[in-house]
Structure 1
Amino acid sequence: MHTDFLHIRYPVIQAPMFLVSNEAMVKAAMDNGIAGTFPSLNFRKEDELKALLKRLNAYRTAPHNPTGTYGVNLIVQKTNPLYIKHLQTCVEAQVPFYITSLGNPRQVIDAAHGYGAKVLCDVTNLQHAEKAAKEGCDGFIAVCAGAGGHAGPYPMHVLVPALQKAFPDKFLVAAGGIATGRQMASALVLGAHAVSIGTRFIASREAGVSDAYKQAILEYGMEDIVLTERLSGTPCNIINTPAAKKIGYKQNWMEKMLSRNPRTRKYFKMLVQLRGMKKLEQAIRPGSYQHLWSAGQSVEMVEDIAPTAAIVQRLIQELEETLEYTRHLSYKA
């Protein structure tokens, strides 16, 4: 398995999830041999990110010797007012690797390569991948249909082999619709070197979200995941709760006009994102009745709330059993 690239024991990235990923989750990921990641925007208060990175670096080199690592997800588009500041903080802390989303990754790549860190870029198609490759990225997160948050339009069984064929020298991570070891095996067989799993870890003991959110991951199914433009301006997957139905899924004509006009686009998108951020932040709090929860179609496969250690152990056991089964089939043939 291709685990040396990120210095992890198992080929799994605990996906960065806005307002969900926290310090406890990342440390548990490191303890269990995978990569824990988080969006820098989860830590927006003054010096909050800097203090967290200091603790994570100390934990990563602690005597108990965790076999995993951590990375930071940066939203690199111009509408993120904290992008440059957060990038500088991450570089000063020498973050092991980065995941970039929604913009040109060049600044992150140059800064990371300055001290030997890796950069993986979220891509949803071959055009995005081509641009990121020209900027010098080390690999891709293939964001496939069914992913939580900003999902791509193409299924894993098309996007992953297409990327592997077009960019055989890049590290390739499959994301979207993965919650079991059998699904991991499928991604690896298709040509991925690792997988990124988010929704499954929302239903973990370490996740600090409300019990109602965790229960929703168990109770809703794949048909309950819908795309909405109303939270960030970019279509993202959420659970189709009554609150989601109330806000709707499509921007109205005025919102579309403002988001397309060159003069208003940047500021309107910032406004939409800020408004959506506040709604999501309210929704994850205990006792909230505004149930706007991001999740992917893999809710269908999540059946319990468990510690990260148990989740990882089950993933790897299922992965090994599935790969052994496929080897057995090939011998028979």
Structure 2
Amino acid sequence: MKDKNELNHLLKINFPIIMAPMFLVSNLEMMKAGIRAGIMSTFPSLNYRKDGELEKVLDELNAYCKLHSGSYGVNIIVQKSNPLSLKHTKICLEKQVPFFITSLGNPKDVIDGAHAYGGKVFCDVTNLVHAKKCVDVNCDGFIAVGQGAGGHAGPNPLQVLIPALKEIFPNTPIVAAGGITNGAGLLSVQVLGASGASIGTRFIASTEAGVNDNYKNAVVSSGMDDIVMTTKLSGTPCAVINNDAAKKMGYTQNWLEKWLSSNQQTKKWFKMLVQIRGMKKLEKSVLPNNYQSLWTAGKSSELVHDIISCEEIVNRIKQEHEKILKELSHLI
């Protein structure tokens, strides 16, 4: 598969899966497990906010990649409301991170910096307008974020978003994100025109994930109808498990919050405040021995039934993918 799949070739991996970057969930052990399994492991730079933390993790991952067939990348929120965007970008470029995913802003500086040493940059897109802006600054690919994704999900179904992107931007690789957790899901988005899939929620229920067991078990026990969208957490629609904590927080911003988020003089600082508050709420919820329960997850929790290692998850997806391909060949 390595020689045939453009994502494998472009990102120097051997199976077309990206372990999606998940705030406060993605950790070093998950990254190493994904690298050993031959996929692209990614994490949000905001998981490492203390001085020296990010540099240490990048040094360790750069050394680890030399020994295994997978690779790693960093997700950077390039929106102005992220106070660490410029600092983290500078650190990652200095350490020559091989792969970036950018979210919620202008990715030009990240793209230009990564291309200077051969790094690749895929941009989160939820519609064709976002995609056009990213192509204009020479992105290497799209993360097509559709309905059902965990965290900041998109409004459009992948069945429409992927073919539309493929039709208008035929030379730009697409990775599908949203509702994918198994080999059938991976194959389905490949049929639509994607080169691979970004998978997040399935990896929350992994032995390596550093979140508390209550969170992992909630992913296993939640169905698709237990996932709701809220703008109260970060100002952008975000998918969470609809438990008592989510109901107490609420799902939509009030009129004053909406005004502060859109006013030219206040939106940058208010969005920054909302995001900082949201990060603190989530941080309380994921730590071991903590009984807070505000948890992000996608609708693919419906298909997550056990807690296993990251390598077992990847191997299971590979086996399912291969099995379905053989079954389909008999139908043709």
Could you tell me the TM-score, scaled by structure 2's length? 0.97
CA distance in 1, matches of 2:129, 2:63: 39
Secondary structure, aligned partner of 2:216: helix
CA distance in 2, matches of 1:308, 1:277: 25
How far apart are 1:324 and its partner, in Å? 1.6
Name the amino acid aligned to 1:67: S
CA distance in 2, matches of 1:166, 1:317: 33
CA distance in 1, matches of 2:215, 2:121: 31
Name the amino acid aligned to 1:32: A
CA distance in 1, matches of 2:47, 2:205: 18
How far apart are 1:288 and its partner, in Å? 2.2
- Aligned residue in 1 for 2:13: 8
How far apart are 1:323 and its partner, in Å? 1.5
How far apart are 1:289 and its partner, in Å? 2.4
How far apart are 1:279 and its partner, in Å? 0.1
1:246-267 Cα distance to aligned partner (Å, 9 max, x none): 1100101111111111111110
CA distance in 2, matches of 1:285, 1:21: 13
Asked whether 1:54 is paired with 2:59, we answer: yes
CA distance in 2, matches of 1:166, 1:23: 37
Q: 308, 311, 318: which one pairs with 2:310? A: 308
Q: 247, 250, 264: which one pairs with 1:248? A: 250
Q: 199, 202, 217: which one pairs with 2:201? A: 199
Asked whether 1:27 is paired with 2:32, we answer: yes
Name the amino acid aligned to 1:204: S
Q: 258, 261, 269: which one pairs with 1:259? A: 261
Name the amino acid aligned to 1:122: D
Asked whether 1:148 is paired with 2:159, we answer: no
1:138-161 Cα distance to aligned partner (Å, 9 max, x none): 100000100000000111111111
CA distance in 1, matches of 2:27, 2:173: 25
CA distance in 1, matches of 2:68, 2:120: 19
1:208-264 Cα distance to aligned partner (Å, 9 max, x none): 000000000110100000000100001100000110001100101111111111111
Could you tell me the TM-score, scaled by structure 1's length? 0.97
Identity of aligned residues (%): 59
CA distance in 2, matches of 1:242, 1:278: 18
How far apart are 1:20 and its partner, in Å? 0.4
CA distance in 2, matches of 1:324, 1:13: 23
Name the amino acid aligned to 1:173: V
Name the amino acid aligned to 2:15: Y
Asked whether 1:157 is paired with 2:162, we answer: no
Superposed CA RMSD in Å reads 0.7
Name the amino acid aligned to 1:142: A
CA distance in 2, matches of 1:323, 1:161: 21
Secondary structure, aligned partner of 2:11: coil
Name the amino acid aligned to 1:53: L
Q: 134, 139, 148: which one pairs with 1:137? A: 139
Q: 232, 237, 240: which one pairs with 2:239? A: 237
Q: Which runs of 5+ in 2 are unaligned?
A: none
How far apart are 1:80 and its partner, in Å? 0.8
Q: Which runs of 5+ in 1 are unaligned?
A: none
Moved more, 282-291 or 78-87: 282-291
Name the amino acid aligned to 1:137: C
1:29-83 Cα distance to aligned partner (Å, 9 max, x none): 000000100000000000110111001111111xxx3110000000000011111
Query: 1:1-333 counterparts in 2 under 5 A?
Result: 1-2=5-6, 3-61=8-66, 65-330=67-332
1:289-327 Cα distance to aligned partner (Å, 9 max, x none): 220000000000000000111111100110111122222
Name the amino acid aligned to 2:267: R
CA distance in 2, matches of 1:58, 1:5: 20
Secondary structure, aligned partner of 1:100: strand
How far apart are 1:286 and its partner, in Å? 2.1
How far apart are 1:25 and its partner, in Å? 0.3
CA distance in 2, matches of 1:79, 1:253: 20
Secondary structure, aligned partner of 1:5: helix
How far apart are 1:287 and its partner, in Å? 2.7
Name the amino acid aligned to 2:95: A
CA distance in 1, matches of 2:180, 2:108: 29
1:89-121 Cα distance to aligned partner (Å, 9 max, x none): 111111001000000100001101111110000
How far apart are 1:283 and its partner, in Å? 0.5
Name the amino acid aligned to 2:58: L
Secondary structure, aligned partner of 2:90: helix
Name the amino acid aligned to 2:249: I
Name the amino acid aligned to 2:56: A
Name the amino acid aligned to 1:309: E
How far apart are 1:271 and its partner, in Å? 0.5
